[in-house]
């Protein structure tokens, strides 16, 4: 049996970025061995070659932070394209960092994006029309956390 891939590796093509404004986290304490937090989203902007618009206020990121520096992220929010189309986003993933870097991120301190791993697998729900490609395509995203915002770069998997 061939031990290599059956086909060439998928490609990644940059689609757009979302600059998501965040409010202060709400800490739930330790739940089932992980520190739970909810980070509300207050808005933002979307731009790139495939999509332009805004991040609507009202969504958020439900986080589960482990003592080893791992964070499970589960964000749910909405975008509005320039033409008015509302796009529902469910974005789950993982952020891995040393305990020190994870603590600095949790406090809202600025950190070098190269000092942690932050990847998600977003899924989109959108009505038929010019943005239906979002629900017909797989995506991988990279997040960069800043003190009061996160920038998410979305890549289409080819």
User: What is the per-residue pLDDT for 130?
Assistant: 97
Domain ranges of the chain: 12-157
User: What is the per-residue pLDDT for 33?
Assistant: 94
User: What is the per-residue pLDDT for 138?
Assistant: 98
- Give SS3 for 119: strand
User: What is the per-residue pLDDT for 102?
Assistant: 81
Tokens describing residue 135: 């629900």
Which residues sit opposite 75 in a β-bridge?
61, 91
The ranges of the chain with pLDDT < 70 are 1
Tokens describing residue 99: 């305990």
pTM (2 decimals)? 0.93
Tokens describing residue 119: 């990847």
Percent of residues in the chain assigned helix, strand, coil, to nearest 5: 10, 60, 35
Question: What is the CA angle 45-49-51, rounded to 5?
Answer: 45
User: What is the per-residue pLDDT for 1?
Assistant: 67
CA 103 to chain centre: 19
Tokens describing residue 126: 């959108």
For the chain, the maximum distance between any two Cα atoms, rounded to a whole number of angstroms, is 54
Tell the CATH topology of 12-157: Porin (2.40.160)
Tokens describing residue 39: 């980070």
Query: Is the four-CA dihedral 47, 44, 142, 136 of positive or negative sign?
Result: negative
């Amino acid at each position: 049996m061939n031990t290599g891939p059956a086909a060439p590796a998928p490609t990644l093509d940059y689609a757009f970025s979302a600059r998501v404004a965040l409010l202060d986290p709400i800490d739930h304490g330790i739940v089932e061995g992980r520190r739970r937090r909810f980070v509300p989203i207050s808005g933002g902007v979307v731009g790139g070659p495939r999509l332009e618009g805004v991040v609507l206020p009202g969504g958020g990121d439900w986080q589960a932070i482990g003592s080893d520096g791992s964070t499970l992220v589960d964000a749910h929010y909405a975008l509005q394209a320039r033409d008015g189309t509302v796009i529902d986003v469910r974005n789950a993933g993982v952020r891995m960092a040393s305990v020190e870097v994870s603590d600095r991120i949790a406090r809202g301190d600025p950190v070098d994006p190269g000092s942690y791993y932050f990847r998600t697998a977003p899924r989109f729900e959108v009505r038929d029309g010019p943005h239906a490609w979002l629900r017909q395509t797989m995506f991988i995203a990279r997040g960069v956390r800043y003190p009061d915002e996160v920038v998410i770069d979305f890549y289409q998997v080819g």
